[in-house]
Structure 1
């Protein structure tokens, strides 16, 4: 076989080197360039754009949170709490972050104690929003059950809820707050700005799910609301409410109210109303129970006004305590009206007119006085004017100006018709009799410093005379006998007045009243009791309201450590 010529040429290492060296250099250059770009980017991010990027990161993780400030406490005069704020948890959600998984939603609904359909409907309703409440003001234990589920899109907000330890006993006076902890009724509303705290702020670090990672620093400290100390003595308040409620139930009445004032300085020691309501559970709230009737409701007071009208007569030159007035034959015609007494009492002195509550006697006295004499006395006592307590809805009452008054209007004004007062106004007026003629303005807050002197309205001797006359009414056999308190001298006046309807005075609906002072020897408290429309067998003030006065005042005097009176004969 012939030997084939081999024309194949195998390149040497020297011939291949230039091509391999070029690729190497190219790759090396590319690597270096890539490293330079990476280093440059690192420098750019960490030096040139550091402030911007850090700001962007902080915007997604740093948050300024509000620190809720709790509402100030309301307490009685001895520091017992009447309204306090307790921590609660509000759960809210971002509907756009909530899972669509039925099982998770069912577990969430169960932990929230709501129906799954209700939860789904709410999520659908707020689907275009980033915020919705799941449940507000839960106890921490209840909220923790939901938090432990770790459901995406569920967030926590710490808040405060108002709690009222004395419940219905002080409900109308203290008032209530709404779901946002703002005052809606009573003193909660009147002093809302004072009781409301100032929220604080803090900067925190949170993860992308909104969970707290770290508390960074405090921006502004939360400032709690101011504390309010009332003049109310909770011991007396409980006792007054219990006795008033029992009397309303016993007499099948529409309601009732009681006001007890300190005869030395005007502080309101007790203020009870029935019916009431439980401010801690408003599911079945009756709006009638919201009103603090002692302050907001005005009514014709009837015969309890006679001592106040009598003070004007005794200060005139025409009458003295011994002046005799003939009330025979037990009725009288004035204009087109007939004024009646319960029976014919014959001739009575000034004390006798009050003792027998003679409408005829008061009318004869009034018609001998200057036309505006009794009106002036009522006006001086603050009737027809707000008493300045600052309580929302405080009634001014009604005291029509004496222009072109007929004789019948002047007469009826003397025995408590044609004028409207609140129970608080009436109690304040009676402090003038108890306090040597100086009337004390009512205070719902505990007073600090020296006791106020009061405004002189009635001459001191006249006030003392009236006190003696009223003491004779609270004696065995007299109209106010059921107001007697064993061991103490009591002064007071009964009243029974027909209620007014749109068609005029009702024939079978009455208000029963008793206004009294105790003890006579050194007056300590003034108390007014009103029972509204007693529908039992008895409805007279001496039979319905006076027993409440006796029970409440008797216990109050002992709780206040007022020493019993020594037996003294009535003059």
Structure 2
């Protein structure tokens, strides 16, 4: 009996102790709850709100690059980077589809997912992303909370992912992708952007400031899936998209130009070919391209400068146009001056010769240009000093930047007369001993076509900001290089030179004033083992609209009139048809080329 009483007392004692402990725990819990709700409730709520409230960047769209007709050459499109939370994915349990859960359940082709965790997420996600489920599963099976699954995903794909019920596990980060419409057409000239969307080459780099917008932001509370909780926006600033840049380049003309350059390169087995088309009246570049096959936006486009911009060469006999223009303007000569021209001449111990053997010919200065005689140019230069030669070459824009501002453009090489040796001072008369790029040469001939006035070339037509305000770049005032009468006489002589190649480079129905050139240049061996063949022509000669320059390296056929000339013919025909240029009036009173 005593034993039972002792046992009962022990039980009561233990029960009392447990009850006291439980009461203390309950009091502590109640106290903590009271502390949280009554004393710290406000700060706790603020902390919870702060954890959900995040600033989100609203990305500005980079501006478009357009051709002269408004066709898009480059644009940025909305894309998403799809990101996964591996930790959340590994604890994922698909919701079985029933009548009650049909709005938020997961299944594949009407059947259960069949697994859990990262594998289940991967199975659901793979079809939308067009990826292998095992590859996705591997990416979601690593430690951490952030894993990039796929970049540059279109909006419609992101929307399909949103419908999978994977909020909080899979989400999309807004980004953009730069797209180029015409592949290799002016590919290196357009250049490209880096991973941050900054222009790093070509027009993308040159106009980066205008093309780049200003990001905005929005501050709001986010749900577990990163979605915006309605009515929680506390602060925001709209993004300002970049300006659109419109080029002077006509994509239709450039497409055709690139096509015939490629065909010409193949036909004449040249190393490369390039060409420029310039509007005589405005100085605008209508087309410029080469035979390099570089896709706009590619790594090659970001690392290489367009050959048509960077390549320099001796212009050869096209340079005679500049020399004769200077002779006429300075009063040293007239086009009707008469010469008896042999096929070679020795001047101050230097021997100069023409491309072909011939007897003593009776040519006027106009005939010397028409026949492209080096000997005749040396003979005609007695009263034309080295200083005058240099003066007019610089006035025509040689040895200096075109002013277009294109990254990587070379200014060529033109040294001063004080550095010319006994031979160079005469070789410059016929386009050797200095180098130019195709843009410089084109504008020099365009100066003749524009009645002796040199325009500033341009490739940017206008810039339109996000508010629709359109601005045009300011250009320097045109400068007169030679008198209008001098330009007209030189154009007349060039027309005779073009007639010399009428069968190869003539454009039916249109008069052409042009000059061909052929120059020996150093090859890979450092010797004069390579050939530059070029042709620069005005069309129509009687009412100039365009100057077209074509340059080839090492074509079979050598002479510019027989290789670059036929390519000019094709481009000229296209221009006349596209722009519906009226046919030419008959030529009258041509300056005599012989006597």
Cα deviation, 1:417-452, whole Å, max 9, x if unaligned, reads: 111111011111112101111011110012659998
Number of the residue aligned with 2:189: 173
TM-score where L is the length of structure 2 = 0.81
Query: Partner of 1:234 in structure 2?
Result: 251
Larger displacement relative to structure 2 (432-441 or 150-159): 150-159
Q: CA deviation at 1:404?
A: 4.6
1:15 equivalent in structure 2 = none
Q: What residue is the counterpart of 1:504 in the other structure?
A: 526
* 2:191–2:301 CA contact under 8 A, matched in 1: no
Q: Aligned-pair distance for 1:202?
A: 1.1
Alignment map for 1:85-96 (pairs within 5 Å) = 85-94=76-85
What does residue 202 of structure 2 align with? Answer: 186
Rounded Cα–Cα distance in structure 1 between residues aligned with 2:553 and 2:204 = 27
Q: How many residues align?
A: 533
Residue pair 1:168, 1:276 contacting (<8 A) in 2 also: yes
Q: Does 1:398 align with 2:419?
A: no
What is aligned with 1:17?
A: none
After superposition, the Cα gap between the structure-2 partners of 1:47 and 1:493, relative to the gap in structure 1 and judged at 3 Å, is farther
Structure 2: distance between partners of 1:332 and 1:432: 33
Partner of 2:177: 161
Is 1:270 the counterpart of 2:279 in the alignment?
A: no
Match of 1:73 in 2: 64
- Corresponding residue for residue 207 of structure 1: 223
1:257 aligns with 2:274: yes
CA distance in 2 between partners of 1:412 and 1:429 (Å): 18
Tell me the distance in 1 between the aligned counterparts of 2:545 and 2:380: 31
Say whether the 8 Å CA contact 1:265–1:451 is kept in structure 2.
no
Given that 1:199 and 1:223 are in contact with CA atoms closer than 8 Å, whether structure 2 keeps it comes out as yes
Instruction: State the Cα deviation string for residues 2-49 of structure 1 (Å, max 9, x = none).
Output: xxxxxxxxxxxxxxxxxxxxx9xx99xx89x989995x8677545653
Tell me how far apart the structure 2 counterparts of residues 95 and 249 of structure 1 sit (CA, whole Å). 55
Q: Shift of the alpha carbon at 1:366? A: 3.4
Equivalent of 2:494 in 462, 465, 470: 470
Instruction: Please identify, of 73-82 and 202-211, the stretch whose mean Cα deviation from structure 2 is larger.
Output: 202-211
- Residue 376 of structure 2 corresponds to 361
Alignment of structure 1 residues 47-66 onto 2, 5 Å? 48-66=39-57
The CA distance in 2 between the partners of 1:238 and 1:289, in whole Å, is: 23
Q: Distance in 2 between matches of 1:333 and 1:532?
A: 30
In the alignment, which residue of structure 1 is the partner of 2:448? 433
- Kindly report which structure 2 residues correspond to 1:294-313, keeping only aligned pairs within 5 A, or say none: 294-313=308-327
Sort the Cα spacing of 1:224 and 1:506 in 2 relative to 1 into closer, same or farther, 3 A: same
Summarize the Cα distance change of 1:510–1:87 in structure 2 as closer, same or farther, 3 Å threshold: same
Q: What's the offset of the Cα at 1:409?
A: 0.5
The answer to whether the 8 A contact 1:480-1:546 is kept is no
What is the match of residue 149 of structure 2? Answer: 134
CA distances 1:85-142 after superposition (whole Å, capped 9, x unpaired): 1111112345555539563476467865667887788789x85x75453322123345
Aligned residues: CA RMSD: 3.3
Contact 2:402–2:440, Cα closer than 8 Å, also in 1:
yes
Q: Match of 1:341, SS?
A: coil
Decide which moves more: 139-148 or 350-359.
Answer: 139-148
Match of 1:380 among 369, 378, 395: 395
Equivalent in the alignment of 1:547: 566
Are the equivalent residues in 1 in contact too, given 2:276–2:288 (CA < 8 A)? yes
Structure 2 distance, partners of 1:278, 1:302, is 32
Q: Does structure 1 conserve the Cα–Cα contact (< 8 Å) formed by 2:212 and 2:242? A: yes
Q: Does 1:413 align with 2:428?
A: yes
Residue matched to 1:522: 543
Residue number in structure 2 paired with 1:4: none
Aligned to 1:88, what secondary structure does the other structure show? strand
Residues 402/60 of structure 1: CA separation in 2 closer, same or farther (3 Å cut): same
User: In 1, Cα distance between the equivalents of 2:231 and 2:428?
Assistant: 70
d(CA) in 2 for partners of 1:289, 1:58:
48
Match of 2:110 in 1: none
Q: What is the alpha-carbon distance in structure 2 between the residues aligned to residue 529 and residue 502 of structure 1?
A: 22
What's the CA shift for 1:151?
Answer: 8.4
The answer as to 2:339 corresponding to 1:325 is: yes
Deviations 1:148-176 (A, max 9, x none): 48386543111111112222223233222
If the length of structure 1 is used for normalisation, what is the TM-score?
0.84
Of 423-432 and 232-241, more deviation after overlay is shown by 232-241
CA contact (8 A) 1:171 1:279 kept: yes
Alpha-carbon distance in structure 2 between the residues aligned to 1:336 and 1:97: 85
Q: Judging changes above 3 Å, is the alpha-carbon distance between structure 1 residues 440 and 407 closer, same or farther for their aligned structure 2 residues?
A: same
Q: 1:480–1:492: 8 Å Cα contact kept in structure 2?
A: no
CA–CA separation in structure 2 for the residues paired with 1:73 and 1:367:
55
Gaps of 5+ in 2: 1-15, 92-116, 463-471, 591-595
1:12 aligned residue:
none
Instruction: Give the CA deviation at 1:290.
Output: 4.1
Does residue 495 in structure 1 map to residue 529 in structure 2? no
The CA distance in 1 between the partners of 2:402 and 2:437, in whole Å, is 10
Decide whether the 8 Å contact of 1:257 with 1:273 is kept in 2.
yes
SS at match of 1:271: strand
SS in 1 for 2:423: helix
1:542 CA drift (Å): 0.7
* Structure 1 counterpart of 2:307: 293
d(CA) in 2 for partners of 1:131, 1:303: 65
Q: Distance in 1 between matches of 2:147 and 2:547?
A: 53
Confirm or deny that 1:225 pairs with 2:242. yes
Give the deviation of 1:524 after TM superposition. 0.9
CA contact (8 A) 2:456 2:477 kept: no
Cα separation, 1, equivalents of 2:191 and 2:419: 43
Change beyond 3 A, Cα 1:95–1:298: farther
CA contact (8 A) 1:97 1:153 kept: yes
- Any conservation in 2 of the 1:333–1:339 contact (CA below 8 Å)? no
* SS class of match (1:554): helix
Q: Could you say what secondary structure the match of 1:504 adopts? A: coil
Give the drift of 1:386. Answer: 0.9
Q: Which has the greater radius of gyration?
A: 1
